[in-house]
Structure 1
Amino acid sequence: MDTRLRVAVIIGSTRDGRVGESIGTWFVTVAQRRDDVELDVVDLRDFVFPERYPEGVSDDMRRFCSAIGRADGFVVVTPEYNRSFPASLKQAIDFAYDEWHAKPAGFVSYGCRNRGHYAVEALRDVFTELHVMTVRDEVAIDLLALRGDGVPGDEAEIAVRTMLDQLAWWGVALRDARARHPYTE
């Protein structure tokens, strides 16, 4: 049996010209050095969600919820837009419900100067309502301080390790708990 933690890496920005894809790729490259996680990139640009919440569930809504349901934990890659996170990410989060329950989430945020902290704080509130355990440490990237090759430096890699250590601990603990006793709200 594979005991690795199945982690959905959710890339939350869908804007043209976004930085989220390169930050997400960098994160996955660093995270893949670990042997205790199996990563599944869930890029919101790969989904066509309805403009309004529909009466019926679309195929892409089902596909997104399935990816969330399969995961043991999550890492959300998010920019900060006007002291919060993107509407595309909120819309996607709201399509799932039970699939989020009793699982941990970590964050990779980015922005200019403030490094996306406000987006993460807003996401923590949303995930609390969905019964998600958010880990304390986050990876926060100042886009104005990227190295010459456009990626974060060694300090950010250390932050990835710390955040994933916490996510792995909570992920295994909660996976074992869900197996012993299904979660109910």
Structure 2
Amino acid sequence: MQNDDVDMVVADNTEADLDDMKKRLKEMEDEAAALREMQAKVEKEMGSMQDPATAGASQSNREEVDARSVFVGNVDYSCTPEEVQQHFQSCGTVNRVTIRTDKFGQPKGYAYVEFLEVEAVQEAILLNESELHGRQLKVTAKRTNIPGMKQHRPRRTNPYMGFQGRPPYAPPFAFPPYGYGKAPRFRMPMRYSPYY
């Protein structure tokens, strides 16, 4: 008799556990549906932000920020943003200092300083060739990148060879059959010479 009682208690516990798991599953499905709705709403808002009118507004905003910013080159790798801010504090109110880093987090050696006033840019340019951490800074006004307009550098030329890499008259598909700088060797056929 006691064995049957234990079986009934175990069955009741498994049914209660099963009902509890069904409730949790239902809650998780409802939460996933709510997250999908929120994600769709955010994507819709982001899509509307990509309007040409909105893109033009963000481009003009970027140009306005760039008009208040300077590029600082030859920044010492051990410089902190606070030290750069203190160096340019005399020009005007510094809004933000950005020291660019590579993918490993190491500084690249240049920074951008954004001011609150446009007039501060001219004052900051006067600090060109000033010293910070024993290095002469190169300070210029920040230029605005135009999306889709990649600036191409002119090809470097070698005064002895025209364009760098290959002669200008050779199309890229006209390679000599023996490789660059190699020519076929024409040798005299080997003949038997008994006295040699």
Instruction: With the length of structure 2 as denominator, give the TM-score of the two structures.
Output: 0.22
Mark the structure with the bigger radius of gyration. Answer: 2
Greater fraction helix: 1
